[in-house]
């Protein structure tokens, strides 16, 4: 028993425009196509030619008719098999596809402020927008150190400000200074004297009589605010309470390993999980209605990558100085601020980085002194 297998082929319906030169055989060619049940579309006649369209799969029948009646015709394929046709529009599109992302990479399009409260976030965003607002060219953007000092100058409660640039996004994350609990001493009254020498910048006192003026140089042990107020010939015991801020220079020696390991943020994305599942490195979560929050949780997480780096002279401004700045900031009292830092010397030897930095610090130098 024999079976006849029919070959299956894909039907090609793509259109071809045919232009036939008019002569005595033109009508015979159309009749030939009609007899073979070839569909013709958009038939139109001009002075010298007859134009129409047909499916690409019928080109073989058309060529047989051309050979039989010896007519001249031209074919124009309306669609091609090329993935990228060789046209000017294709070249322009590819150029834009390459050029636009490259140009966008020279700009900062988003400035994300990650603060602990919405009020802090709004205040920092408003301050940043007054100085530099996105989008902004990267070469016009202040350095990380300048951004950090600009924010810490306006918000004295921050001990450090993390600034990171990833792609076209800059992230600003302020860090609050550790709060020192100050216990009120109700056993007596006090003067405020200088803990160390410096130049007075401003006062924040609740009671007491000032004994020095701003921009005055004071020395350790000098009375800054008196707890006695003179009224006529009498002295009233009121007690001095508050802070007195001054600038002073501090030399700091440092020794750090030549190889340092730190984490960088490589990606930030929103994730949806079940309500009872926690997410690592979660930045913030989206508040949902109570009925929905019982089932799902939407939170933004960040992906961090550990980087091991060998420090060189090229890393002084980008790695070493910010690291020393943050370390010193964490050791200073609350509301203290580093206004300026100068690297005196540095050397790389024996797997260590050694050096000395001169800091200009502004902090509260007042300490209570009992009134006898």
Q: Determine the distance from the C-alpha atom of residue 357 to the mean position of all C-alpha atoms in its chain, rounded to a whole number.
A: 30
Stretch 339-360: mean pLDDT: 91
Higher pLDDT residue, 14 or 241? 241
Stretch 313-342: mean pLDDT: 85
User: No. of H helices and E strands in the chain?
Assistant: 7, 23
Q: Are residues 50 and 158 in the same domain?
A: no
pLDDT exceeds 90 at position 269: no
pLDDT at 8: 44
Q: Are residues 235 and 323 in the same domain?
A: yes
Q: Are residues 239 and 328 in the same domain?
A: yes
H-helix segments, the chain? 26-35, 59-69, 88-104, 118-131, 144-154, 290-293, 321-331
pLDDT at 81: 57
Mean pLDDT is highest, among 122-136, 265-279, 281-295, 339-353, for: 339-353
Determine the Cα–Cα distance for residues 16 and 13; give it in Å rounded to an integer: 9
Q: Tell me whether strands 169-176 and 110-113 are parallel, antiparallel or unpaired.
A: parallel
pLDDT at 13: 76
Confidence of residue 26 (pLDDT cuts 50, 70, 90): confident
Determine the Cα–Cα distance for residues 60 and 12; give it in Å rounded to an integer: 12
pLDDT at 10: 60
Q: Are residues 254 and 353 in the same domain?
A: yes
Q: Can you read off the two tokens belonging to residue 107?
A: 């700009």
Residue 92 lies in a domain: no
Q: Are residues 209 and 246 in the same domain?
A: yes
Domain boundary among 77, 95, 127: 77
Stretch 2-23: mean pLDDT: 67
Mean pLDDT is highest, among 84-88, 148-152, 172-176, 346-350, for: 346-350
Residue 248 lies in a domain: yes
Domain that holds residue 160: 107-176
pLDDT at 224: 94
Mean pLDDT is highest, among 30-39, 239-248, 318-327, for: 239-248
Cβ atoms of 48 and 22 within 8 Å: the answer is: yes
pLDDT exceeds 80 at position 206: yes
Average pLDDT across the chain, whole number: 81
Stretch 18-32: mean pLDDT: 85
Q: Are residues 331 and 226 in the same domain?
A: yes
Nearest to 366 by CA among 259, 232, 177, 239: 239
Which CATH number covers residue 21?
Answer: 3.30.70.120
Stretch 148-170: mean pLDDT: 76
Which CATH number covers residue 139?
Answer: 3.10.20
Q: By percentage, how much of the chain surpasses pLDDT 90?
A: 17
Please tell me whether residue 205 adopts helix, strand or coil conformation.
Answer: strand
Q: Are residues 226 and 132 in the same domain?
A: no
Cβ atoms of 110 and 170 within 8 Å: the answer is: yes
Q: Are residues 253 and 363 in the same domain?
A: yes
Q: Are residues 340 and 223 in the same domain?
A: yes
| Burial class, 244, CB count within 10 angstroms (exposed 0-12 / middle 13-18 / buried 19+) | buried
Higher pLDDT residue, 111 or 354? 354
Residue 88 lies in a domain: no
Residue 82 lies in a domain: no
Report the range of poorest mean pLDDT among 263-272, 303-312, 322-331, 338-347: 263-272
pLDDT at 74: 86
Q: Can you read off the two tokens belonging to residue 207?
A: 């009671």
pLDDT at 245: 94
Determine the Cα–Cα distance for residues 286 and 297; give it in Å rounded to an integer: 8
pLDDT exceeds 70 at position 278: no
Give how many domains the chain has, as a whole number: 4
In eight-state DSSP terms, residue 69 is: H
Stretch 35-51: mean pLDDT: 86
Domain boundary among 151, 176, 201: 176
Q: Are residues 123 and 271 in the same domain?
A: no
Residue 335 lies in a domain: yes
Determine the Cα–Cα distance for residues 133 and 136; give it in Å rounded to an integer: 7
pLDDT exceeds 90 at position 281: no
pLDDT exceeds 90 at position 184: no
pLDDT exceeds 60 at position 186: no
Cβ atoms of 324 and 252 within 8 Å: the answer is: yes
Q: Are residues 238 and 129 in the same domain?
A: no
pLDDT exceeds 90 at position 300: no
Residue 233 lies in a domain: yes
pLDDT at 7: 42
Residue 201 lies in a domain: yes
pLDDT exceeds 70 at position 179: no
> Which residues make Cβ contacts (< 8 Å) with residue 335, sequence separation at least 6?
156, 157, 177, 243, 363, 364
Q: What is the pLDDT of residues 61-113, one digit of tens each?
A: 888 888 888 888 888 877 665 555 666 777 787 788 778 877 777 788 888 88
pLDDT at 250: 92
Residue 85 lies in a domain: no
Q: Are residues 328 and 341 in the same domain?
A: yes
């Amino acid at each position: 028993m024999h079976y006849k297998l029919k070959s299956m082929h894909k039907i090609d319906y793509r259109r071809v425009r045919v232009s036939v030169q008019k002569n005595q055989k033109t009508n015979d060619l159309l009749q030939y196509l009609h007899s073979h049940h070839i569909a013709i579309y958009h038939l139109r006649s001009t002075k010298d030619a007859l134009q129409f369209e047909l499916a690409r799969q019928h080109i073989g029948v058309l060529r047989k008719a051309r050979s039989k009646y010896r007519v001249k015709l031209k074919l124009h394929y309306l669609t091609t098999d090329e993935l990228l046709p060789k046209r000017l529009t294709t070249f322009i599109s590819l150029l834009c596809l390459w050029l636009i992302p490259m140009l966008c990479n020279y700009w900062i399009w988003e400035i994300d402020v990650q603060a602990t409260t919405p009020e802090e976030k709004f205040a920092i965003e408003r301050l940043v927008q007054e100085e530099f607002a996105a989008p902004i060219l990267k070469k016009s953007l202040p350095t990380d150190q300048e951004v950090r000092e600009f924010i810490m100058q306006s918000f004295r409660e921050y001990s450090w400000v993390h600034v990171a640039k990833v792609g076209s996004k800059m992230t600003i994350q302020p860090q609050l200074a550790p709060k020192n609990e100050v216990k009120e001493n109700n056993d007596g009254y006090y003067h405020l004297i200088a803990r160390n020498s410096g130049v007075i910048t401003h006062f924040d006192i609740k009671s007491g009589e000032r004994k020095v003026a701003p921009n005055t140089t004071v020395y350790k042990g000098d009375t800054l605010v008196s707890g006695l107020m003179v009224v006529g010939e009498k002295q009233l015991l009121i007690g001095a309470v508050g802070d007195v801020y001054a600038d002073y220079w501090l030399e700091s020696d440092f020794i750090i390993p030549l190889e340092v390991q730190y984490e960088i943020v490589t990606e930030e994305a929103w994730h949806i999980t079940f309500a009872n599942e926690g997410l690592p490195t979660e930045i913030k979560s989206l508040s949902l209605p109570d009925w929905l929050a019982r089932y799902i949780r939407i939170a933004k997480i960040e992906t961090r990558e550990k980087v091991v780096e060998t420090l060189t002279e090229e890393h002084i401004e980008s790695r070493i100085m910010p690291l020393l700045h943050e370390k010193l900031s964490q050791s200073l009292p609350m509301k203290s601020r580093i206004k300026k830092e100068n690297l005196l010397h540095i050397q790389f030897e024996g797997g260590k980085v050694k050096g000395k930095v001169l800091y200009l610090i502004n902090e509260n130098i007042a300490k209570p002194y009992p009134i006898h």
